[in-house]
Structure 1
Amino acid sequence: MKYAYVYVLDTMADWELGFVTAELNSGQYFKNRGSRLPVRTVGASKRPITTKGGLTIVPELTVDEITYETSAILLLPGADNWKDPTNGPIIEKAKQLLNVGGYVAAICGATLALADAGLLDERQHTSNSLEYLNLFSPSYKGAARYKNEKVVVDGNLITTGSAGALELAREVIALLDLFAEETLEAWYNYFTSSDPKYFYAMMETLQESNS
């Protein structure tokens, strides 16, 4: 069984992984109808954490329980306290996964944690801004590979800034090949435009896949 692992930590930005976790865990628009990609929460320990929105999450797993064989993707949310040393093991796990071809997606403050660990020095990436990385990560040496784009995919790593929740979801879904191409395009267009024609178009793609 493969899982989408979500690292949870105090002050995590609730909304930043909302789109992607809902679609992965529900499987509602998957091209393989009836399937899903279960989401499991991972913590530095199994101590409850409190999100920025005030929600309490009790991690199901600890970092050492993540394996390459069971990881479909590791999702790293933004948070205010990524600098806390207790988060070091998950960044080391991200490094291990990336080195063996595993998928990792990071948004907002999580990109800063990757920068601190040198994981962006040799990979194309984005974040909240180049200035953000330079200011808050003295060890960062990846400026030449920074892209001023909303989301960047470099092989098995996806990065985006705090405003890229929807784009992150789109790229994760595409990377894992979970939606039909036409479904994903209509899904993204609906959430970016709110035009109902795209919702109906998405429903049509699902009907076509079942016929």
Structure 2
Amino acid sequence: MTKRLAIVLTEGYADWECGLLMATARHECDATTAVLTPGGADVTSLGGVAIKSAGAAEAASPEDFDVLVLCGGTIWQSDAVPDLSAAAGRFLAAGKPVAGICDATLALGRMGLLDDRAHTGNYRSQLPEVVPAYRGEAHYRDQPQAVADRNVITASGAAPVTFAREILVAIGLGSPELLDYLRVYGDEHKAAQG
């Protein structure tokens, strides 16, 4: 059965954070992606890319998708933060993963999903500074790679490669060949030879 990814993009979303995931899912894994947005409105990225929404993120259902992915962007630190807690709750109750990258980890923190799970984010002090109710400091992993714990996947905005890897593995699309393919995107961070 074809896997389906619900990708939540918001006004001012960060172009680079879910691009590799979406392209890899579609072209390497034969999965489908659907861009959902708050209220079903069309959105524009930080880089100026206009996106037509396929539906309201608030209505995302685990019956229709295998994972709910929240892309980072400027909205997560604004007064216009969308409430996606009901959608995230439906996915987790169905045993399906919820993922957040960069400032979207703040949304997961607001939902209380990081209080008792290993997780990461942009930097250690961001969650307690921006989310007063956050209680997960003891579970924070100060590392550059994405973290997965009990169907919640988190990453800093600088980790789209491992974010993609953790999501694809979580929904059963991981393979040695796919992991080798994704690893290539991190090769630029290795020390130069010669």
The TM-score range, normalised by the shorter chain, is 0.7 to 0.9
Counterpart position of 1:170: 165
Measure, in 2, the Cα distance between the counterparts of 1:47 and 1:174.
30
Counterpart position of 1:207: none
Q: From 119, 124, 141, give the equivalent of 2:113.
A: 119
Measure, in 1, the Cα distance between the counterparts of 2:65 and 2:97.
8
Q: From 19, 37, 51, give the equivalent of 1:43.
A: 37
Counterpart position of 1:55: 49
Counterpart position of 1:10: 11
Q: Give the C-alpha shift of residue 85 in structure 1.
A: 4.6
Q: Is 1:98 aligned with 2:92?
A: yes
Alpha carbons of structure 1 residues 191 and 70: separation in structure 2 relative to 1, 3 Å: same
Counterpart position of 2:141: 147
**SS of 1:15 mapped into structure 2:** helix
Measure, in 2, the Cα distance between the counterparts of 1:184 and 1:102.
21
Counterpart position of 2:192: none
Q: Is the 8 A contact 1:2 1:70 kept in 2?
A: no
- TM-score in terms of structure 1 length: 0.81
One-letter code aligned to 2:149: D
Moved over 6 A (4+): none
Q: Give the C-alpha shift of residue 142 in structure 1.
A: 0.7
Structure 1's unaligned 5+ residue stretches are 31-35, 195-211
More helix per residue: 1 or 2? 1
Q: Is the 8 A contact 1:16 1:107 kept in 2?
A: yes
Structural mapping, 1:169-208, within 5 Å: 169-181=164-176, 183-193=177-187
Measure, in 2, the Cα distance between the counterparts of 1:91 and 1:130.
23
Q: Is the 8 A contact 1:13 1:51 kept in 2?
A: yes
Q: Is 1:70 aligned with 2:71?
A: no
My pick for the range that moved more, 66-75 or 103-112, is 66-75
Please report the RMSD computed on the Cα atoms of aligned residues, expressed in angstroms.
Answer: 1.7
Q: From 87, 95, 101, give the equivalent of 1:107.
A: 101
Q: Give the C-alpha shift of residue 97 in structure 1.
A: 1.2
Counterpart position of 1:20: 21
**SS of 1:148 mapped into structure 2:** coil
- TM-score in terms of structure 2 length: 0.88
Measure, in 2, the Cα distance between the counterparts of 1:67 and 1:45.
15
Q: Is the 8 A contact 1:45 1:59 kept in 2?
A: no
Alpha carbons of structure 1 residues 189 and 41: separation in structure 2 relative to 1, 3 Å: closer
Q: Is the 8 A contact 1:46 1:59 kept in 2?
A: yes
